[in-house]
Amino acid sequence: MIQPDNFACHNIHMETERLKLRPFKDGDFDIAVPFYKDPEFLNAIEESPPDEPVSKEYLKKAGKFMRDSGFLFAIVEKASGRTIGEVCLQWMNLERAKIAGEKVMRLPIAIWDKTLWGKGYGKEVVRCLMAHAFGKLGIDRFCPVDVPADNIRSIALWRSLGLTVARKADGGKMLDFEITRAEYEKAAQSST
């Protein structure tokens, strides 16, 4: 049964060594708003600043879109119990990354607290959700899109997990990464 405060409208719970992924709740937007008002944070995750002031309502609008096209999770740090970010395992919605006859997913992710950047939390989350997407959902291709070309951390994350640049968008300002099922399975076998 889905709880009334469950904004995500799913009941999927997952864990990594240091993190829990749970359905995004309405109250998580209140936690997120201050981080989305930080220009450095926004620059790391967005190509350009939003057209309107960041508010709970603004984030809920974006969250509803993600929720309706995938699985929206809150990222919770086990040690502290704090909600530290969001991630959405989302069915591909950009024509440039869709492939006829293939199930393709993308993964917008944000670790809100900059003091937690560089600690490997994003990598833990992505590994967990890639395993779920390829294993449980049976996708053919995993394709994080719209990665700012100057976001060194994001680029390093995707490359460290075996993804390669599939295409450049917006005059080279944005990168689309991908990994196919065959590439994922080969990498998984060689790491065991």
What was the pLDDT predicted at 53? 83
How many C-beta atoms lie closer than 10 Å to residue 179's C-beta? 22
CA separation for the pair 133, 135 (Å, rounded) = 6
Residue 158, classified by CB atoms within 10 Å of its CB into exposed (0-12), middle (13-18) or buried (19+), is: buried
- 1-46 per-position pLDDT tens digit: 567 778 888 999 999 999 999 999 999 999 999 999 888 888 777 7
Long-range contacts of 175-179 (CB under 8 A, 24+ apart): 175/147, 175/148, 175/149, 176/96, 176/97, 176/143, 176/144, 176/145, 176/146, 176/147, 177/143, 177/144, 177/145, 177/147, 178/97, 178/141, 178/142, 178/143, 178/144, 179/130, 179/141, 179/142, 179/143
pLDDT for res 1: 59
Give me the residue spans of the domains in the chain. Answer: 14-144
pLDDT recorded at residue 96: 87
**What angle, 0 to 180 degrees and rounded to 10, lies between the N-to-C axes of helices 121-135 and 152-160?**
50
pLDDT score of 68 = 92
H-assigned helices in the chain: 28-36, 39-45, 56-68, 121-135, 152-160, 181-190
Average pLDDT, the chain: 91
> pTM for the full model?
0.92
Residue identified by tokens 């719970």 is 13
Range in 62-66, 99-103, 188-192 with the lowest mean pLDDT:
188-192
* Share above pLDDT 70 across residues of the chain, in percent, rounded to a whole number: 96
Position 174 pLDDT exceeds 70 = yes
* pLDDT exceeds 80 at position 61: yes
Domain over 14-144 is classified CATH 3.40.1080.10: no
Residue 47: what pLDDT? 66
Residue 71: pLDDT above 90?
Answer: yes
* Alpha-carbon gap, residue 70 to 65, rounded angstroms: 9
Tell me the β-bridge partners of 82: none
Four-residue CA torsion sign, 99, 136, 157, 189: negative
- Which tokens belong to 115? 């003091």
What is the band of 192 on the pLDDT scale with cuts at 50, 70, 90?
Answer: low
pLDDT value for 188? 83
Summarize the confidence of residues 95-112 as an average pLDDT: 92
